[in-house]
Amino acid sequence: MPSTETSIWLALRGQVESLVLDPIHAVSYPNEAFTPPTDDTGPMPYLVVTHLPNTTNRPFIGSDDEQQFQGILQIAVMSKPNQDSSVAVEYAGQVADHFATGLILKNGSARVRITKRADISQGFAQNGLWMTPVSIQYLSFN
């Protein structure tokens, strides 16, 4: 049986994998080989997933009571530079909608709840692309 941390990650990843954007965006996952897509015009849009678990808390007194796991799943929308920024913001909004407030994800014994509307940060230039970060906060008791 996977650890709680692994189950949480797999629940979050499963939701990312079910995301459908038009056009389809390739996804870069942590510590996995990835080559950014290109076409005849240059770089193509893609997503970069980063998992940022936070401190585990013990909100209950009993030794066998559940622990509180929390963190942020950050998905960076990497889009073409020098285009209307609303294009990247639209993709970021679609990512945020896919992780709706109150959504409960499951994997094994882990139940992961999305605690609020995802935060979409101001985009900025990075490595020749326009990066728009989407930060998704989650909470899990296991």
Predicted confidence at residue 62, as pLDDT, reads 66
pLDDT of residue 59: 67
Model pLDDT for residues 7-20, shown as the tens digit of each residue: 999 999 999 999 99
What's the confidence (pLDDT) of residue 123?
Answer: 95
Q: Give the count of domains, the chain.
A: 1
Residue 93's domain comprises 4-141
DSSP count for the chain of H helices, then E strands:
2, 10
Beta strands in the chain (DSSP E): 26-28, 38-39, 42-43, 46-53, 68-79, 104-107, 110-114, 119-120, 124-126, 129-141
- Rounded-to-integer distance, Cα 87 and Cα 109, Å: 38
The CATH number of the domain where 85 resides is what?
3.30.2000.20
pLDDT given for residue 57 in this prediction: 67
Residues of the chain with pLDDT under 50: none
Quote the CA–CA distance of 138 and 102 in Å, as a whole number: 9
Between CA 95 and CA 74 the distance in angstroms is 10
